[in-house]
Amino acid sequence: MVGKHVSVANFKAIIEEFYRQFFEKPVSIRIRPSYFPFTEPSFEIDMRFGRSGWLEIMGAGMVHPNVFSAVGYIPGDWQGFAFGMGLDRLAMMKYHIPDIRLLYSGNLHFLSQF
């Protein structure tokens, strides 16, 4: 998402709403500092799952000013965020799949459940 007034607060609100709708229940997330190329600041997003603690679910960050320069935008005028999440991890969490290898096994009996 890119705009004149996009912030980390916008990112957090959008991601919380996405996960709330995806899992069909309220979620609790936290943001930890990290490093990813092309973003500054960069952060990891963790989600709390019941009493089992926090689980890292995605990486994200605010788009680095050099990225805006590279595409011809004036960095001081624009802000934005970028993120990446593994769809396989989301499927495992939503459908309680115990082993990621099941998704890549080619087992039609397993896959036909979804």
Q: Which tens digits make up the pLDDT trace of 71-82?
A: 999 999 999 999
Neighbouring-strand partners of residue 2: 80
Rounded CA separation 75/67 (Å): 8
Distance CA 78, CA 75 (A): 6
Residue-range domain boundaries for the chain:
2-111
User: Rounded to an integer, what distance in angstroms lies between the CA atom of residue 44 and that of residue 41?
Assistant: 10
The pLDDT tens digits of the residues spanning 38-66 come to: 999 999 999 987 777 898 999 999 999 99
pTM above 0.95, yes or no: no
2-111 folds as: BirA Bifunctional Protein; domain 2 (3.30.930)
Residue 53: its pLDDT value, please?
A: 87
